[in-house]
A and B are shown apart, each in its own frame.
Chain A
Amino acid sequence: MNTDNFGDALAEQPCGSSLWRLLSSLERLFGLSVGQVRAAGSPPKLPNVCLADCLERSPGAVETRGCAWLQAMLRDGHPPALPPDGRCQRNHQIHVPSDFGSGESGRIFALRPVQGAPPVASEVPDHRLAEVWDEALDAIERLVQQLAQREEENVRLVDEVLQSYEQLNILFEVTRASVSMSRPQEMYDFALDRLSTALRASFACFLDARGDFDRSTPRFSQQNELHDTYYRLVSTEARAALHQAITVGAAQALEFKTRPTRASLLIVPLISGTESLGAALFGRPLTDTFRTGDCSMAEAVMGQVAITAHKMRLFQDLQQMSFDVVGALVNAIDAKDDYTGGHSDRVARWSVMLGEALDMGEDDLQMLAWAGRLHDVGKIGVRDDVLGKPGRLTPEEFEHIKLHPAISYEVLKPIRRLAHVLNGVRHHHEAWDGSGYPDGLAGEQIPLEARIIQTADVFDALTSSRSYREAFTLEKALDIMQAGAGEKFDPDLVSLLVSMMERARTEHPDLFERIPQDPRDRDVDVGGSRP
């Protein structure tokens, strides 16, 4: 039998169809139906072309019904003794390899109708016929084996491609998410969650740089008892190996085979630059160990995450530091004037509350918080004897103190990152009717943020004790503001402040603790209130 053509066909065709071509050629040329014996219960060697499939797809499908020999063959996985005439009950000539042992799987056998089939190599003398059949079956068997190998390789390649897609997808998502995420923790949670799914992990968690459970990070496990197993494993048997892996800094798949802590682990150290940030740990049952592809996927993703998270942390630190520096500056001002202790922070909070009530965006609220804290920075340039003077100020002193918004502006102007707060700071003493300072703006000429800070500033000043008067009660302070609405203050903002008092009281009770609650109608000259 010439098998060269089949070889060519195999080179060109995907597995399933080349086997089909092989089978139909055998059928057409020799009237042969070919089958493969599999051991009972063994997984199919050719996922798409197992025996049943061969039989179905073969043009002259081998019909097992009514054929005890074939049924026994399929049931037992080896051919029973041949019938005396070498024919099965359905009058097919049976050909099996002469060295076909019991229980042997993967062997090829052939059936050929006794009548109506084309003659097989009629020039072959009878005594050589068995030999020719052996050769032919051997050749077919080799081809099927080749096909099986190719199919296995195909499956492996497909696995690799799928894993690459998975990896690409996670990397894309991590990159996209890093734009919108601001906390390293969010980033870690996200990556751990996505990798757990992609790796089919039954357990996932973070370890700190010493190899201990990082209790601040989430853990995923499908079952609680599993969770305990992994927990025990990490804290006892696997401890040294995990620590070692973190020190070396390379992803590693580990297997632990002693009961009761049998599992396979994948540890992926998190490294940014030279700093170890701990490791991500994934667990799977021992029957499903982690492979090289899993390692490289987890390493690629976690590598990206570690670097991004590290940068986020640096950014957070810098942000915190600038906030603290501003805090120090504000404290310096507050220390200059005993009576304004905490004033700047409260103005910031009330301003943000007003901003929230106006549905302002996150960026604008941030700006209000900064502007609120910094609005009085210019008092650094106001003389101490004026700032702390009990009683009424002389006109000259009043003119002096009125310089502070403009000074605030000049102090903050060089700080590029604070450019967005300058308007609010400079104009927080403008008046609705244009009688304010430093620029005499009126109505909506005054930037909204400045009007907000002014509203918060006046409200906090009225409800605080000063060197020249006692604090007003909440009711009195609001009365005073309502009286000045449309004259000194933005009437809409004053109404807004009044309407949000109840909510503010529930959400920020500490702001109310220092405001005198009992209405004490004291007759104080409002005009004497100072900036």
Chain B
Amino acid sequence: MTRILVAEDDRHLQRVISLWLERNGYEVQCRNNGRCALQAFHEWCPDILITDVNMPEMDGVTLARTVLAEVQRPVGIVILSCRVDMIGIGVELGDPRVIHHAKPFSPSRLVEELETLTREVARLAPPSEWSPCEWT
């Protein structure tokens, strides 16, 4: 089952997103800020990160950059933001697996985008069965 980590400081939105994703067959965990999310990323080994941009402790863009730099296996990242300057974030970070999704989020499109992203991540994943996380 594809694992999704949600970094979002709005608890209500966090709950709505996780309920929706669970209903669509994803395994979901949520964190309230970038720092906690980064820790969870290393411990829980999600396949996809959905992150808000403006969060306490560590913002979403820093989180995305750090994840891309520190995590060796392929991961997909969805930057969730209403900020217009974030639309080109995928290009800015130079990674096609980083996409922007406008807030207020569209449940139907988010799921479509996640399917595409999941396929893309799977395509780039190493062929071996184990994930590095299982050894830590």
Contacts and interface: CB of A to CB of B under 8 A. Distances in A.
A197 B112 contact: yes
A200 B108 contact: yes
A433 B59 CA distance: 61
Interface in B95-136: 102, 104-109, 112
Contacts of B112: 197
Given A169-B102, A172-B102, A173-B102, A161 B108 contact: no
A194 B107 CA distance: 12
Contacts of B82: 172
A165 B106 contact: yes
A354 B72 CA distance: 52
Nearest to A154: B19
A166 B102 contact: no
A25 B4 CA distance: 33
A198 B112 CA distance: 11
B102 A161 contact: no
Contacts of A172: 82, 102, 104
Contact of B105 (A158, A169, A197): A169
Nearest to B22: A48
B108 A197 contact: yes
Contacts of B93: none
Contact of B106 (A158, A161, A166): A166
Nearest to B101: A169
B17 to A, nearest CB: 9
B107 A162 contact: yes
Contacts of A170: 106
Contacts of B104: 165, 168-169, 172
Contact of A169 (B19, B20, B106): B106
Q: Chain A at the B interface: mostly helix, strand, loop or mixed?
A: helix
Interface in B49-108: 82, 102, 104-108
Contacts of A198: 106, 108
A59 to B, nearest CB: 24
B16 A197 contact: no
A218 to B, nearest CB: 19
A166 B108 contact: yes
A194 B102 CA distance: 14
Nearest to A198: B108
Contacts of A161: 16
B102 A158 contact: no
A112 B36 CA distance: 43
Contact of B16 (A158, A169, A173, A200): A158
Nearest to A14: B15
A162 B102 contact: no
B51 to A, nearest CB: 17
Interface string A151-175: 0000000100110011011101100
B114 to A, nearest CB: 14
Interface centre among A169, A170, A172, A173 (most CB of B within 10 A): A169
Interface centre among A166, A173, A194 (most CB of B within 10 A): A166
A161 B16 CA distance: 8
Contacts of A200: 108
Contacts of B16: 158, 161-162, 165
A165 B105 contact: yes
A96 B16 CA distance: 39
B109 A197 contact: yes
Contacts of B20: 158, 162
A172 B83 CA distance: 12
Interface string B19-37: 1100000000000000000
B107 A165 contact: yes
Interface string A348-369: 0000000000000000000000
A162 B19 CA distance: 10
A169 B82 CA distance: 10
A166 to B, nearest CB: 5
Contacts of B102: 169, 172-173
Contacts of A197: 108-109, 112
Contacts of A162: 16, 20, 107
Contacts of B107: 162, 165-166
Interface centre among A165, A172, A198 (most CB of B within 10 A): A165
Interface of A: 158, 161-162, 165-166, 168-170, 172-173, 194, 197-198, 200
Closest 6 CB pairs of A and B: A169-B106, A168-B104, A162-B107, A197-B108, A198-B108, A169-B104
Given A166-B108, A169-B109, 11 more contacts: A158-B16, A162-B20, A165-B16, A165-B105, A166-B106, A169-B102, A169-B104, A170-B106, A173-B102, A197-B108, A197-B112
27 contacts: A158-B19, A161-B16, A162-B16, A162-B20, A162-B107, A165-B16, A165-B104, A165-B105, A165-B106, A165-B107, A166-B106, A166-B107, A166-B108, A169-B102, A169-B105, A169-B106, A169-B109, A170-B106, A172-B82, A172-B102, A172-B104, A173-B102, A194-B106, A197-B108, A197-B109, A197-B112, A198-B106
Interface of B: 16, 19-20, 82, 102, 104-109, 112
